[in-house]
Amino acid sequence: MENLLKVALAQIAPVWLNKQGTLQKIKEQITEAARENVELIVFGEALLPGYPFWLALTGGAEWDKKVNKEIHAHYVRNAIQIEAGELDEVCALAKEHKMAIYLGMMERAKDRGGHSIYCSLVYINPEGSIESVHRKLQPTYDERLTWAPGDGNGLKVHPLKQFTVGGLNCWENWMPLPRAALYGMGENLHIAVWPGSEHNTKDITRFIARESRSYVLSVSSLMTKDDFPKDTPHLSAILEKAPDILGNGGSCISGPDGEWIIEPVLNKEGLIVQTLDFNRVYEERQNFDPVGHYSRPDVTQLMVNTERQSTIKFK
């Protein structure tokens, strides 16, 4: 039925800073989701190949510190360059299983020189085509020491059966104007990806759902001390101050009324599967629609620059 959509939240730990190992886990999750006839699968922020936890543990803001430079170089080397075909196998699985995918990853963007990395949220449609790459607009706090700021090119929504789906990375979900941009494009299924932990998801998930009268999927990763590979550069320096649990998950789903469909799931790895009914969106828009009958564009409007930013322009 076109009004029903089966979704999966892939709450997994990466093979930290190992893109090939993490890609293998991602492909396994897609294959498992296909066995349950899932139509949309979502992975957490920066899952591929992992969140930069070392910054808060090794004095990440110290100038010219060799440990941070060497881990950063390792991170960049394990980031994904889409233009080089490094997501081709994931796209092929999407096409094979007719499954849409939202994937949080570190992008080593060729159109920005290929040396800086962006926290990107990639949408792959059920035909296996990459339809948008949203680079996080504003990295948060210590993330700015390793991630570059993105642009508005990836602020896009996509048709998926009767739904219109869009997404944001982590604390972007607290930014009112990017949210409003997606609402204005017709979003009614909002994807919020996080590095992990329910303190991020327990409030904002329901708030966005109630504000937008949309479904909201919050998808987080997991990370414990035991998840750091033994060959990680400067592992002893990272583990010295690392807590036992760095990301406990907290993936969850809220309905268009702002109430829980699935409350935050903690410390459990695997797929969280749920079927969504689009008709609930129409029901909740009856009394409030933030960009429709309950908006005043004659008083307030939003301008969105969707140009992909680059250092050079060719004439």
Q: What residues are annotated to the active site?
A: 45, 136, 170
Count Cβ atoms below 10 Å from residue 156 Cβ, excluding itself: 19
- Single-letter residue type at 160: L
- Mapped onto helix, strand or coil, the DSSP state of residue 10 is strand
Report d(CA 166, CA 173) in Å as an integer.
11
Report d(CA 285, CA 89) in Å as an integer.
39
User: Contact 123/102 with Cβ under 8 angstroms?
Assistant: yes
Kind of pairing between the strands at 40-43 and 4-11 = parallel
* CA torsion through residues 190, 218, 172, 26, sign: negative
Q: Where does the chain have alpha helices with state H?
A: 19-35, 66-77, 88-97, 176-184, 198-212, 235-241, 279-285
* CA torsion through residues 60, 66, 70, 76, sign: positive
Q: How many CA atoms lie within 13 A of 119 on its CB side?
A: 28
Report d(CA 25, CA 36) in Å as an integer.
17
Structure tokens at 237: 């320096």
User: What phi and psi, each to the nearest 5 degrees, are found at residue 237?
Assistant: -70, -35
